[in-house]
Chain A
């Protein structure tokens, strides 16, 4: 099996690479790439993302043909794709960080700033928070409800169709933290930094 981690200069992805390689060992080939042919021919794709929604979308657009290739991979060919943090957020139609920016439009919804109740809650939402699993998902296999995952973000994905929500987390409000729609998977938290349980999720994705 070949897995591509999309490298589009979206900030620091070395932890993503390290954790996937740790799980993959010799069984799975992990490529860190922005090469369209390589992405097309892979079995699964990981879309990481750090920094602002706008800077990540800009990063994707800067690589000629990348968005089309991802669309073909995920929407036309329905192959498994895992978005992490802003990688997940970009599934949305639109994001409001920095300025209004169009997303990939894969799962209807928007990405807006977390309502921190006039400063009552600190932002970014940083640290270990518990996830409320609301729906069975293959990527949560072996992970119990209320497990801790590592978060760091100030914006949240609000999908229109609540049936895609796999898990939420409680902060200033209920925040969507894992979604699944057919072949699309995404987490707001960082499995690559979430210790053993995060590694377990990566394992689950690899063995889909």
Chain B
């Protein structure tokens, strides 16, 4: 039986983890490789790096980080943030990323999704959708949530499936950082509209939120960042909790 996936996400800036596990025994709390290893040893089903590097000059450091991590972590590694072109995707894959998540570029130029999924296969193309509730629809935002687009997130999700995306990473901007739980309505609407897996993101504050994302939001995978930072919960605890709630997970 196919298991639901639990994906911890690490924010990486200029090659260092800026929000990550703050364990006392960690030699270097900013080393992405070390943190990714802890997650993968704890049973993470995949690891996600979000590159939040501000300046273009420091962009190249993410390639080094991916290269080092992929030599030590043998679960799938997804990298997102600042991916603009087929060339960027190619570079990340060559460094050892297994999947690349595309956000702004997919909205501005959906051809990137068409072209890259043809070239590298749908399995490595994740489209990240950042959406905010706007009266009667969920609207897509780009550039890390700064720019509104007027695009309906649910219709866009369908379009991305048709363009060749292998998975959708759906983040509710209303919930992101609130620890109030996923936007279940958004997740379930998108999940029922498309036939590719949906990864729920944005808003996890406790382990019940993960359960809801799968049970109510129909997500195939649940992504979380801050509950794993500072060691509030470990991956193992989260998986055991999901299991105790009858959700099929890899333990």
**Secondary structure call for the A interface:** mixed
- For the complex of A and B, 7 pairs with smallest distance between CB atoms: A51-B121, A12-B93, A128-B250, A152-B123, A14-B96, A148-B250, A128-B3
A100 at the interface (CB under 8 A from B): no
B5 to A, closest residue via Cβ = A127
Tell me which residues from 187 to 236 in chain B have a Cβ below 8 Å from any Cβ of chain A: 195-197, 220-221
Check A127–B70 contact: CB distance below 8 A: no
B45 to chain A, nearest CB (A): 6
Binds A, one of B11-19, B25-33, B71-79, B152-160: B71-79
A interface, size bucket: 35 or more
A18 at the interface (CB under 8 A from B): yes
B94 at the interface (CB under 8 A from A): yes
Contacts of A52 in B (CB 8 A): 121
A191 to B, closest residue via Cβ = B74
Check A122–B195 contact: CB distance below 8 A: yes
A192 at the interface (CB under 8 A from B): yes
B69 to A, closest residue via Cβ = A18
Q: Knowing A18-B70, A127-B2, A195-B40 touch, does A122 contact B196 (C-beta < 8 A)?
A: yes
B120 at the interface (CB under 8 A from A): yes
B interface, size bucket: 20 to 34
Tell me which residues from 115 to 152 in chain A have a Cβ below 8 Å from any Cβ of chain B: 116, 119, 122-130, 148, 150-152
Tell me which residues from 176 to 208 in chain A have a Cβ below 8 Å from any Cβ of chain B: 192-196, 198-199
Check B3–A123 contact: CB distance below 8 A: no
A40 at the interface (CB under 8 A from B): no
Check A12–B98 contact: CB distance below 8 A: yes
Binding site for B on A (CB under 8 A): 11-12, 14-15, 18-19, 21-22, 50-52, 55, 116, 119, 122-130, 148, 150-154, 170-171, 192-196, 198-199
Q: Knowing A12-B93, A116-B195, A125-B2 touch, does A50 contact B221 (C-beta < 8 A)?
A: no
Bound form: Cα–Cα A126–B76 in Å: 11
Check A193–B195 contact: CB distance below 8 A: no
The 8 Å CB contact of A15, one of B3, B70, B167, is B70
Check B71–A18 contact: CB distance below 8 A: yes
Bound form: Cα–Cα A11–B119 in Å: 7
Contacts of B123 in A (CB 8 A): 50, 124, 126, 152-153
B135 at the interface (CB under 8 A from A): no
B191 to A, closest residue via Cβ = A122
Given contacts A119-B195, A154-B122, A199-B74, 17 further A-B contacts (CB under 8 A): A12-B97, A12-B98, A14-B93, A14-B94, A50-B121, A51-B120, A52-B121, A55-B121, A126-B167, A126-B197, A127-B3, A128-B45, A130-B3, A170-B1, A193-B98, A194-B75, A195-B75
The 8 Å CB contact of A150, one of B76, B124, B195, B220, is B76
Bound form: Cα–Cα A25–B1 in Å: 34
A196 to B, closest residue via Cβ = B74
The 8 Å CB contact of B124, one of A18, A50, A170, is A50
B32 to chain A, nearest CB (A): 16
